Amino acid sequence: MALIKLENITLEFPVQASKSDRRQSSSKESHIGGQLSLGPSGQMVVRALDQLSLTLGPGDRLALLGHNGAGKTTLLRVMAKLYPPTHGRVTVQGRVAPLLNLGFGLDMDSTGYDNIFIRGLYLGMSKADLKKKADAIAEFSELGDFLDLPMRTYSSGMRARLAFAISTHVQTDILLLDEVVATGDARFLKKANEQLENFARDSKLLVLASHSNKVLRDLCNKAVILEHGRIKAFGPIDEIIDAYAVSMGVEAKDK
């Protein structure tokens, strides 16, 4: 069973205001960022998500659309239970694979092979599964003898390759994805995107934030438009992409 249920989710981050005369300002008129307001204690807070409710089940493939700071990444992290909400309730059923930060869960002083197990365990894989899949992960990464060296000797692209290889070999019910992989040469990038598409289609439930309409149309069947942490529109993928383009005053081109 794959289920994500969000009930009246609000998430606020306290901030240190630099000028007192800005405390009464609100970002509701801005095209970027969350809402700025005063919390109960009088401290300024950024309301990244605002009374948001959403239920997703098996077969749902949801695209997240919205301006910079609309709450897309924050929403994914709440779904992954990395951020506890300030108010509201989060219910998640099923194994979750959050591809939100490819660098998270990697130990720079351990070898690439060791990190296959370190990150794999972090993503919920068992040691038995990792032993079975370690060779396939190593082969996909194309890092060869570098897997016997500490991660601190890797370039950022090499680290991203290994992290991506590990993440996309996890058996998962729910895939949470923030943008597509964009590292390595053109050949590896093509290979990675093909792997990602297969991984997404094998998952029971997908939530994806991307600036590529083509990726969203290819992988998703539903979409929401987020605006200042609230759901502005929800519906079929093509309808919502077109509506978002109209609201932004641009043409909904696939890219």
Q: Is residue 13, in this structure, part of any structural domain at all?
A: yes
Residues 119 and 92: their CA atoms lie apart, in Å, by 21
Alpha-carbon distance 15 to 221, whole Å? Answer: 37
Angle at which helix 112-122 crosses helix 156-167, to 10 degrees, equals 50
pLDDT tens sequence across 166-180: 988 888 899 998 876
17 in any annotated domain = yes
In a domain, 90, yes or no: yes
75 in Cβ contact with 226 (< 8 Å): yes
The predicted structure's pLDDT at residue 88? 97
Residue 168 within any structural domain of the chain? no
Which of 99-108, 143-152, 191-200 reaches the highest mean pLDDT?
143-152
Question: What is the residue range of 61's domain?
Answer: 3-95+210-248
- 95 phi/psi in degrees, rounded to 5: -75, 130
146 vs 160 pLDDT, higher one: 146
Give the total number of structural domains in the chain.
1
Higher pLDDT, 174 or 183: 174
Percent with pLDDT over 90 in the chain: 54
For residue 31, give both structure tokens: 């095209």
Q: Does residue 115 lie in a domain region?
A: no
Q: Is residue 75 situated within a structural domain? A: yes
Express each pLDDT in 193-250 by its tens digit. Answer: 788 888 888 889 999 998 889 889 988 999 999 999 999 999 999 999 999 999 887 7
What count of other Cβ atoms lies within 10 Å of the Cβ of residue 109?
8
- The pLDDT value recorded for residue 49 is 95
Residue ranges of alpha helices (H) inside the chain are: 72-79, 112-122, 127-141, 156-167, 186-202, 213-219, 237-248
The pLDDT of residue 157? 84
pLDDT of residue 23: 46
Helix axes 112-122, 127-141, angle to 10 degrees: 130
Q: At what angle do helices 127-141 and 156-167 cross, to 10 degrees?
A: 130
Q: How confident is the model at residue 6 (pLDDT cuts 50, 70, 90)?
A: very high
Asked if residue 29 belongs to a domain, the reply is: yes
Dist. CA 226–CA 35, nearest whole Å = 12
Decide if 113 contacts 148 (C-beta within 8 A). Answer: yes
pLDDT at 27: 45
CATH number at residue 24: 3.40.50.300
Q: Which tens digits make up the pLDDT trace of 114-138?
A: 999 999 988 888 999 999 999 999 9
